[in-house]
């Protein structure tokens, strides 16, 4: 099961007990916010794309959307999301539980600037009813993020 794989992954930092298994779905930003009693924008949503021949993950704030122009400038490719049926095979987690932890080898992780507004965020942990609360330094470390990127839009109006 994916959540056990993620718990094992977090054990290298002694953080496995912080992984939450929720009684309700957290598969969407709205569901995760309700389940965690927080604002949707603090949900760290993982979006998977193909860049050339390789899948990547970009972690966005819950209220951010992909800015196609910025994405193409940064990655030199059009933003092409993975097909639903390919996500688990290429990333290592099913849709609704995609996260940057315990993923397949060769998948690069990028953190979007939209997350920097918050002291902590809530990414999923491999299933559609799991999460963990992490500081941004913890997210950087635990996701093995390759870089911070600015490839989003729609959240700046809500910036606080």
What residue segments make up the domains of the chain, in order of their start?
2-150
CA distance linking residue 65 with residue 93, whole number of Å: 21
Kindly tell me if the per-residue pLDDT of 156 is higher than 70. yes
CA distance linking residue 153 with residue 17, whole number of Å: 34
- Looking up tokens 């330094």 gives 137
Q: What are the tens digits of pLDDT across the range 22-52?
A: 999 999 999 999 999 999 999 999 999 999 9
| Cα distances (angstroms) measured from residue 51 to each of 64, 99, 139 | 20, 18, 22
The mean pLDDT of the chain is: 94
pTM of the model: 0.94
CATH class (in words) of the domain with range 2-150: alpha beta
């Amino acid at each position: 099961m994916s959540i056990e794989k993620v718990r094992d992954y977090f054990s290298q930092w002694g953080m496995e007990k912080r992984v939450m298994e929720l009684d309700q779905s957290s598969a969407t930003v709205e569901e995760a916010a309700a389940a965690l009693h927080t604002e949707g924008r603090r949900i760290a949503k993982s979006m998977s794309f193909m860049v050339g021949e390789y899948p990547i993950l970009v972690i966005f704030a819950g209220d951010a959307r992909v800015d196609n122009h910025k994405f193409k400038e940064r990655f030199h490719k059009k933003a092409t999301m993975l097909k639903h049926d390919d996500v688990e095979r290429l990333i290592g987690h099913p849709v609704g539980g995609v996260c940057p932890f315990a993923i397949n080898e060769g998948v690069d992780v990028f953190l979007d600037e939209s997350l920097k507004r918050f002291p902590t965020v809530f990414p999923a942990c491999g299933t559609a009813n799991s999460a963990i609360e992490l500081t941004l330094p913890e997210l950087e470390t635990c996701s093995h993020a390759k870089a911070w990127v600015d490839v989003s839009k729609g959240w700046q109006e809500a910036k606080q």
